[in-house]
Structure 1
Amino acid sequence: MIFFLQIINKIYAQVDNKSIENNHSFNDTNIRKIQFKFNSLVYVKNNEYFNEIADGYTLIGYYLNPKMSIRLHEKVQIDAGVFLRKEYGRNGLKEIEPTFTVQIKQKDWRFLFGNIEGNLSHRMIEPLLSFERVLSKPLEHGFQAKYQKQEAFFDGWLDWQQTTIAGQTNQEKIWAGMSYYSKAVELKGIKFQAIAQASIYHSGGQNIQNIQPVRTMINPTLGLRIKKEFNQNQAFTLDNYYVGYFESPLQGTAYYLNTFWQNPKYQIGFSYWGGHYFNAPFGNDLMQSTSRKFNNESHYEESRNVLITRIVRDWKVSSKVVVSLRIEPYYDFKNRIMEHSEGLYLKCNL
C-alpha cells in the first residue's frame, strides 16, 4: 500500500485491451478460397459496488461466433456466420443472431458494412465506453471506416441499435462515434501522441406513440499520450484527457488522468476520474452523475471523484488463445467507499 501511495502522489492510462478486442481480420488466402473462422470469449466478471450510482452484480457466461469467410476480390471480403451467447444460470441461450460483414480494404484503410468491429475495438476511453460492453453488447451493426499504420489509428462508425415504425412505441436509437490517435512524435526517446474522441447518441423518431423525450447526447474528448519505451517490450505511459458532456440544456466536464506500466506479461495502472455534471450513455457506470442503480434513477451526484487501480495479467497460451485476469479496486472520495471488480477471460480467435 505504501508503494502504491507513493506512485499515486506523483502520477495520475487505462490499460491496453488489444488482447481481447473483436476484430475482423482480412484474409491472406487466395481469392475465392473459403476460410473458416472462430471467435469466442468465456468470461466471469464480478462487480462489488456499494454506492448509489452503480449496481453490483456478476456476469458469467460465454459467446461463440463461428463463420465462413471468402475473398471475392483482392480488396473485398465477406464474412457470414452465427453469434451465440450463453449466460450461466439462465435456461437456453440469451442471444442468437446471424452475423454478416462486407469488408473493403484500400491500403491502410478498411471499410466495414454490416456487423462492425465494436466495443473495445473502438479504443475509446472508459468514461465514454465501458469495458463491460464487450460482455453485455458484443455485436454492433452499421457502417465503419478504420485506419491503422503503426501508432496512428482512426475509427469512425455508426451503430444502428434500434429502429422504429410509424405508429409503434419503439424509439429509434443511433450511436455514432470517432476515435483518433495521431502518429507519434518522438523527442529524446519519449513519444508524444494526440488523441481525439467523440460519441453522439440519439434516441427519438417521428410518428411514434411514445412519451419519452427526444434525446441527443454528445461527449467530446481531447487527450495527450506520453510514452517511454524500454528494453524487453516494456513501456511506461501517461494519458491525460479532458472530457465533455452536452445535452441541451445540460452540460458537464471531467478530467481523466491515467498512467500504466506494461510488459509482455502484466500491466499495472492508476486512473483518477474527476467528473462534474457528467453523463455518457455507454460509459463506465461508476463515472456517471446520474444513477444507473436499480430503482434509484432519481439519485444524482454533481461530482464524482474516483481513484482506480488496474492490475492485468495476460497468459498467451498460443498466438490464437489468451487468458486475461483483471483486478480493479476503486476508491470513491466523496462517499468514502472502497469497491472492487475482478474478471477472468479466455479469448479464442482462430
Structure 2
Amino acid sequence: MALLIRVGEARAQLDNRAFTSNRPGQLKYSYILLNPDGPDAKEDSLKRESQQRRQEDSVSAGDLRLSLNAFIFFKDNEYFNKIVDGYTLYGTQLNPQLVYYPVKNLRLEGGVFLWKDFGNPQLKAVRPTFRATWTHGKQQTILGNIRANLHHNYIEPMFNFERVMLNPLEEGIQTIYRGKRLFLDQWVDWQRQQYRYSNYQEEVAGGLSTSYRISPDDSRWTVALPFQFTAIHHGGQIDTLDKPLQTAFNEAFGVEARYQLQGPNVQAVRFNGYVLGFQDYSFTPGQFPYKYGRGLYLNGTLETRFADVMVSYWQGSRFISPLGGDLFQSASRTVSNPDFRDPQRQIVIVRLLRDFRISDAASLTARAEPLFDLNAGLLDYSFAMYFNFRQDWLLGNIGKRARVGQ
C-alpha cells in the first residue's frame, strides 16, 4: 500500500527548505511504497530512499559538473506604518557555475551571478562567484562565496528574510557542522573592503547559529535548544573619514518543539519561542538610537497538507538589529519618518505558507502574511511568490583522461 509520510527535518521558525535544499522540489512529503509485512517496513523504506539519494549524489575525484541556481522573486509589502516602508521586490537572479572535484571531499565552484529587477532595463548586479567547500566527516569548511542568508537558519528578528533578495551574496569563511543532534554554523561576511585613503569605512558581519536536539531519536516529539548570535562592525584605520566606529551585537536563546501527528490532513504542530538581546558596543555613544534592547518572539504553527498556518507575536523593547527584519525594529527605517521611534513595539503576524513541488529541482512558494501593529492599531500585509530551481549536470570525469604525451 502507498503511505504518505514526512521525511527531512523541520527548520527553525519558518520552513525555508525550498530556498536552501539541493532539491527544492523534495520538500515535506514523499510517497513511499511500504511492505505491509513486518514492523520494520517503514524504517526499511526510508533507508532505501536514503541510500538511493546518496547514490544519486555520489561524486568521484575528477568529476566536472555544470550547476545552475535560478531564483525568481515577487514580494509586495503593503505597509503603511512608520517603522518600515511599503514597496515591491520583483526580479530574477541566476548563478550558472562550473563545478570540479579534484578529490571527492573538495568541491570547487566558479561562475557568474546575474541579478535583474523587473521594470529596470539595467542589470542590478554582475559579479563573479567562487566557492571552495571541503567536507570532512560531518563538518564543512567553506571559503569564498559562503552559504548565505537563509542557510544560516536564523530567526527573522536576527536576520532579515529579504536579504535573500536584497543581499544575495556573502563572501568570507564559514564552518558548518551537521551532526545527529547538533547543528552549528559559524560565518564571517566581509561586506566592504577598505583601501588606503578610502572615503568610506570597512564593513564586516559575522555570527554563530546553533541548535541542539534534546529529544530521543524515536520520539514523535522533536525538541531543540537554539542559540544565535550576530555582530556587525564598521570602521577601519586607513580611511579619510572622521566618522566613529560602529559595533553592535545581537543574540537569541530559545526552545523549538514539534509534535508529529498521524492525521491525513494535519501533519504536525510546532512551537518556537525566543528571548533576544541587543547591545551597542561602539566606542562613541549615540551610534544607534538605543544602547541596549531586548525582545520576545513566540511562534505557533499548524502544519497541514494544504498549507502551514503560523501565528507570531513580537514584543521588542528598544530592540535594534542591524541585520534583522525591518518589522521588528524599535527605530524607523522609512524614507518619510526616519526619526520615528517605537520603544515598546508589539505586533502580531499571521502567516499562510505553501510550497508547491514542480520537480525535484524546482518548486514554487506562496506566502501571505497579514500583520497587526498593536500600538498603532494598524493592519498591514504582504504577499509573495518565489520560484526556486537548482540542479547539477555531470559533464564528465576529466580526472580519468590521460594528458597528451603521457
Does the Cα contact within 8 Å between 2:73 and 2:92 map onto a contact in 1?
Answer: yes
Letter in 1 for 2:244: P
Task: Tell me the residue number matched to 2:18.
Answer: 19
Give 1:65 shift.
Answer: 0.4
Unaligned runs of 5+ in 2: 1-11, 25-53, 286-290, 392-406
Give the structure 2 partner of residue 160 of structure 1. Answer: 190
Normalising by structure 2, report the TM-score: 0.80
The equivalent residue for 2:6 is: none
Q: Which residue of 1 aligns with 2:231?
A: 200
Q: 1:69-89 CA deviation, whole Å, 9 max, x = no partner?
A: 111112211011110000011
Preserved contact between residue 247 and residue 280 of structure 2 (Cα < 8 Å): yes
Cα offset, 1:167, TM superposition: 1.6
* Aligned residue among 135, 139, 144 for 2:174: 144
Q: Does the 8 Å contact 1:23/1:121 carry over to 2?
A: no
Whole-Å Cα distance in 2 between the matches of residues 166 and 298 of structure 1?
Answer: 34
Deviation at 1:295, TM superposition (A): 4.3
2:165 aligns to what SS in structure 1? Answer: helix
**TM-score, scaled to structure 1:** 0.92
The separation in 1 between residues aligned to 2:378 and 2:321, in whole angstroms, is 23
- Contact 1:163–1:170 under 8 Å retained in 2: no
Structure number, greater radius of gyration: 2
Counterpart Cα distance in 2 of 1:177 and 1:33: 33
Rate the CA distance shift 1:212–1:301 in 2: closer, same or farther, 3 A: farther
| 1:265 Cα deviation from its structure 2 partner | 4.9
Residue of structure 2 in register with 1:10 after alignment: none
- Equivalent residue runs for 1:108-187 within 5 Å: 108-150=138-180, 152-186=182-216
Letter in 2 for 1:236: V
SS at match of 2:322: coil
2:74 aligns with 44
Instruction: Give the secondary-structure state (helix, strand or coil) at the position aligned to 1:185.
Output: coil
Distance 1:132 1:180 in 2: 21
In structure 1, how many angstroms separate the alpha carbons of the residues matched to 2:215 and 2:379?
A: 39
How far, CA to CA, are the matches of 2:347 and 2:88 in structure 1?
21
Aligned counterparts of 1:263 and 1:112: Cα–Cα separation in 2: 36
Is the 1:85–1:95 contact (alpha carbons within 8 Å) kept by the matching residues of 2? Answer: yes
Change (3 A) 1:148 1:265: farther
Q: Which amino acid aligns with 1:125?
A: I
User: Shift of residue 275 of structure 1?
Assistant: 0.2
Task: Choose 207-216 or 161-170, whichever is displaced more.
Answer: 207-216
Taking the TM superposition and a 5 Å limit, the aligned residue runs for 1:27-66 are 28-66=58-96
Secondary structure (helix, strand or coil) at the match of 1:317 reads: strand
Gaps of 5+ in 1: 1-12
2: CA distance, partners of 1:14 / 1:62: 26
Count the aligned residue pairs. 338
Give runs of aligned pairs for residues 1-350 of structure 1, distance below 5 A.
14-21=13-20, 28-150=58-180, 152-186=182-216, 189-231=220-262, 234-248=267-281, 250-263=291-304, 265-350=306-391
**CA deviations over 1:303-342 (Å, ceiling 9, x no partner):** 1101011111111111110000000000000000000011
| Mapped partners of 1:59, 1:296: distance in 2 | 21
The amino acid of 1:243's aligned partner reads L
Contact kept in structure 1, 2:81 and 2:378, CA below 8 Å: yes
Distance, in Å, in 1 between the alignment partners of 2:377 and 2:245 is: 36
| Contact 2:59-2:104 at 8 Å conserved across structures | no
Q: Which amino acid aligns with 2:246?
A: R
Question: 1:30, CA displacement in angstroms?
Answer: 1.7
Per-residue CA deviations over 1:168-205 (Å, capped at 9, x if unaligned) read 11111100111101024149742321000000011111
How far 1:24 moved relative to its partner? 11
